[in-house]
Homo-oligomer: A and B are copies of this chain.
Amino acid sequence: MSKIKPTSTHDENKRLLEAECPEIYASNLINGQWTVAICCYLGAGKMRFAALKKKLPAITDRMLTLELRKMEEKGLISRTIFAEVPVRVEYELTPIGHELTPVIQQLEIWGKKHKALFDKQ
């Protein structure tokens, strides 16, 4: 998750498209490898780092940290630190993050249909 080079036309194109189309803007907000999964789990309520990690078996500490940070930056989740020992950190969907839930459900329905079509072949 290095800094984006200012000379990148790749990024330039992304921004152009995002500026024109909110649907592309939206899809870019959720296209991290674990983003949608995390949204799903947090849809059911607050969760701690370790709890999320258990739900995402193959994820590493690093990836989970990065994803959560990115999602926080994007305003999808909020992060609350409890100064206990050991530290406790809770993640939770923001209001706009919650509004994403029905959209993800639509995606899920469509995904199932698409999968059914392709499993037949």
Q: Which residues of A contact B (CB under 8 A)?
A: 9, 12-14, 16-17, 21-27, 29-31, 33-34, 36-37, 40, 57-59, 75, 96, 99-100, 102-115, 117-118
Contacts and interface: CB of A to CB of B under 8 A. Distances in A.
Secondary structure class of chain A's binding surface, majority of residues: helix
A106 B110 CA distance: 13
Copies per complex? 2
A72 to B, nearest CB: 13
A22 B116 CA distance: 10
Contacts of A24: 36-37, 111
A27 B83 CA distance: 36
A103 B110 contact: yes
